[in-house]
Amino acid sequence: MLIENNLKYCRENLEMTQEEMGYVLGVTKGTVANWENGNDSIPLRQIVKICNQYNISIDFLLGLTRDNEQYCKIPKLDKVIIGKRIKLLREKLNYTQTQFSKECDVAQSTLSLYETGKRLVNTLTLQIICKKFNKSADEILGRRK
C-alpha to C-alpha distance for 94 and 108, rounded to whole angstroms: 16
Q: Which amino acid belongs to residue 132?
A: K
* pTM (two decimals): 0.86
**Inter-residue contact 21 to 100 (CB < 8 Å):** no
Query: Domain end: 33, 61, 89, which one?
Result: 61
Section 106-117 average pLDDT: 97
Q: Are residues 40 and 87 in the same domain?
A: no
Number of domains in the chain: 2
C-alpha to C-alpha distance for 12 and 33, rounded to whole angstroms: 13
In the predicted model, what is the mean pLDDT of the chain? 89
- Tens of pLDDT, residues 40-65: 888 999 998 888 888 888 888 888 88
User: Which residue range(s) make up the domain with 24?
Assistant: 3-61
CATH of the domain at 7: 1.10.260.40
Residue 69 lies in a domain: no
